[in-house]
Chains A and B, each alone.
Chain A
Amino acid sequence: MIAEFGQVSLILALVLAILLGTLPLYGAHRGNETLMRLAPSLVIGHFVFLAAAYVALSAAFLNHDFTISYVALNSNLLLPWYYRLSAVWGGHEGSLLLWMLMLGGWMLAVAAFSRTLPREFVTRVLAVMAIVSIGFLLFTLLTSNPFDRILPGPTDGRDLNPLLQDPGMIFHPPLLYMGYVGFAVAFGFAIAGLLGGKVERDWVRWARPWTLAAWAFLTGGIALGSWWAYYELGWGGWWFWDPVENASFIPWLIGTALLHSQAVTEKRGSFPAWTVLLSIAAFSMSLLGTFLVRSGVLTSVHAFANDPERGLFILMFMAVVTGAALLLYALRAPRIMTGPGFDWMSRETMLLINNVFFTVSAAMVLLGTLYPLIVDFMGWGQISVGPPYFGAMFILLMTPIVILLPLGPFTRWKQDEVMRVIRPLAASAAVAIVLGLIISAALGAWNLRAITGWIGGIWVMAGAIAWVTRQWRSSRSGLALHQWGMTLAHFGVGVFLIGVAMVESMTFERDMRIAPGQTVEAAGYQFTLHEVTQVKGANWRADEARFTVHRNDREIAAMNPQKRLYHRGGQVMTQVALRPGVTRDLYIAMGEELDAESGAWSIRIHVKPFVRWIWGGAALMTLGGLVSASDRRYWRRRRTEAKQARTAEVPA
């Protein structure tokens, strides 16, 4: 019964999305107020029915309704309630439902927070987003229905993939989808702007907080995924350049470029067409990511159930959405190609450089990800591109960004002098070089990667601090929230850089044989194995090793890694023991029992310096994005602008 209820809700949501994607859009075209006024109620209805469907599926999971095949495949009687709830998005069908619920949520937010915008504009934004929703609802109902029944149902389910039974995994997909789907708002704004014909700076300002929020969610989601892979996959890495990871990274790179180009277009009116194009690209890349993950076109460590049929559907959908958007762009963009000129030394140039490098990086990751396809297509045999390609290209492309990043905020719009920009940063540069060398030497990290990492990281952080200090002194009112946000995010980049450089150059990683009672030495730490015992959990049992770790004769940690066997599915999982720290992580993973008599095991020990800084930096970037997005400037000025727009042109 509950499944049918969910099914009907989805169909009703589809009907409302179709109405929303057509009637108000026509109303906006003809200037028909009555039709446009339909939009907000339709948005509410659309969201309510999506939420009902979502709740129905969650209820089915909670009640162990194994007659729904999706539930039977992703849950079982022993699964605790919180994993049953997160199992809703543990597979392809349910994660699509979450995707759509979030799209509905973003639409609701746009309708609620954009009352001060011109009605035609908001109506167009919502209609464009509704068209996206139609595509996904059709996709779900036709190819991936989460409510399909199997009758008679099995008495017990197959269990959620153990990899996903983890707190990190509860939050990773929702955050990631919030980011992916959030770019639909920027996309909607861009298309609405093009449809309206007279693209102006206003809509770019209106789009900014939405883009910032989406970008922040995406950053958080990617970071959480990386953190999860680090401790749950048991490989000790934090980024694998896997096609699925790349699928989320490409929209992030484009989104980063978009944030910065929006700043230029809003403040100066320069490169508006480019901003429109990036808005289209960011969302299209999110769609492409969805396609890559679900179609099986590329092999990956964590792809969903692969199905070329589904892939074809998403591809066709992407062809329609992106194709139509780009066609509209080609038709309308020539009319908006205006913008004041600027000097080579100016904020515009700085942000242009940012855009060039981020866009090229995105293209590079896309190329690397699709390279196996291209090579196969051309008949050059079969090659896959590994981390060396991505790593080398990234160092090359990001070095200029790191060097120039602190200069950006100091540079004036339109025209500036090199010396005026560099002078206040001379101290930061000196501090970065001296401190970077001292710290590298003190840590014994005397290699090129660590040294450049420290210098670059401190340079970016010191530059951010220098900018805040100067702003603080020069303005009476202090800093605006969006300026704090930018500074936080840039500071986070510095933290991130140090983490990456240290982990990549100074990680200790070794497989060792160790029997109970023995002590092994690793990177200055003594690891002692006391015993290996059997333990039980809700739906698994495990071998657990009891370690203590000493440094300089002082006990610093007790660590208990496990090897779990899940009862259903019979999957074996390594539960890593982790001792996180600000300057290093200790990491023990159990390998095989080597010798039953002495009880010796092969154990993998990692000592990872500064690995937390990678996610700490990402967390700062996320926070920065959210702080920026919450700046009332974007919201308040709308109202005053709406009044002023009738009387006079507003200076930037």
Chain B
Amino acid sequence: MIRMLLPLIVFGGLLALLIAGLQTAEERKLVQSPLVGKPVPEVTLPALHDPQTTRSTAELVGQPYILNVWGSWCWACRVEHPFIERLGQEAGVPLVGFNWKDEREDALEWLERFGDAWSFHLVDFEGRAAIDLGVYGAPETYLVDHRGIIQHKHIGPIDATVFEDLMRRIMQMRAEAGS
């Protein structure tokens, strides 16, 4: 009888795990990225304003910076935009835009309309570099420290709580870079 119950017991364990997993699904999604704690992949991409030139993540090594994935088509990017502007003013580190799967004209028009708070933009029209970066969707915000390690990643729009959290982490990264 006990032996016959074994499948049921195993199934019970599986069920418990899945229920627990479901409870924390939201939180896990926020932090889960295989790339956190790893060096940011070196991506070289055309710049947005001047498509003739290319910019690379390599040129930023040595200082902490923020990488923000956005697109003019992305509705949630508009929602988080006020906080992006605050990041640009208050963080004191470069704020790199990662313009994802967008059209150049649309992107420029969008910036014209809502304001360009970023230091500069990398353009990934096709989304291939985004795969290397492990982008799930826009908006997404990465914090990269002065050694080029991705310290943190936030998936989804930035709100007031997330903003506080990001600022705290940025200050810590700046302190580490300074020492």
Contact = CB atoms under 8 A, between A and B. Distances in A.
Interface in B57-79: 71-73
A322 interface: yes
A553 to B, nearest CB: 33
Given A308-B22, A329-B4, A370-B17, A296 B52 contact: no
A326 B26 CA distance: 31
Contact of B1 (A277, A318, A322, A334): A334
Given A296-B29, A386-B34, A563-B126, A315 B17 contact: no
Contacts of A308: 22, 25-26
Interface residues of A, number: 51
Interface string A317-350: 0110011001101110110000000000000000
B103 A565 contact: yes
Interface in A595-645: 595-597
Contacts of A382: 28, 31-32, 36
B21 A330 contact: no
Nearest to B26: A308
A299 interface: yes
A373 B21 contact: yes
Given A384-B34, A570-B103, A329 B52 contact: no
Contacts of A330: 1, 4-5, 7-8
A315 B32 contact: no
Contacts of A295: 22, 25
B116 interface: no
Nearest to B27: A376
A489 B124 CA distance: 44
Contact of B18 (A306, A315, A386, A571): A315
B17 A334 contact: no
Given A333-B4, A565-B103, A377 B72 contact: no
Given A319-B15, A592-B125, A311 B103 contact: no
Given A382-B31, A571-B101, A373 B17 contact: yes
A377 B13 CA distance: 12
B168 interface: no
A323 B73 contact: no
B1 to A, nearest CB: 7
B149 interface: no
Given A318-B15, A374-B17, A570-B103, A334 B4 contact: yes
A431 B73 CA distance: 59
A372 B126 contact: no
Interface string B37-63: 000000001100001100000000000
A570 B15 contact: no
B100 to A, nearest CB: 9
SS of A interface (majority): helix
Interface in A559-613: 563, 565, 569-572, 574, 590-592, 594-597
A286 interface: no
B4 A323 contact: no
A219 interface: no
B8 A323 contact: yes
A291 B25 CA distance: 13
Given A297-B18, A373-B21, A322 B11 contact: yes
A312 interface: yes
Contacts of A331: 4
Contacts of B21: 297-298, 370, 373, 376-377
Nearest to A604: B128
Nearest to B34: A384
B102 interface: yes
B49 to A, nearest CB: 14
B114 interface: no
B136 to A, nearest CB: 7
B32 A591 contact: no
Contacts of B131: 235
A284 interface: yes
Nearest to A318: B15
B161 interface: no
Contacts of A311: 22, 25
A161 to B, nearest CB: 13
A329 B31 contact: no
Interface string B124-135: 111110010000
B140 to A, nearest CB: 12
Contacts of A327: 8
B179 interface: no
A569 B73 CA distance: 7
8 contacts: A296-B25, A297-B21, A311-B25, A315-B19, A329-B4, A373-B18, A571-B101, A591-B128
Interface of A: 235, 273, 277, 280-281, 284, 291, 295-299, 306, 308, 311-312, 315, 318-319, 322-323, 326-327, 329-331, 333-334, 370, 372-374, 376-377, 382, 384, 386, 563, 565, 569-572, 574, 590-592, 594-597
Closest 8 CB pairs of A and B: A570-B73, A373-B21, A326-B8, A330-B4, A330-B5, A297-B21, A572-B101, A333-B4
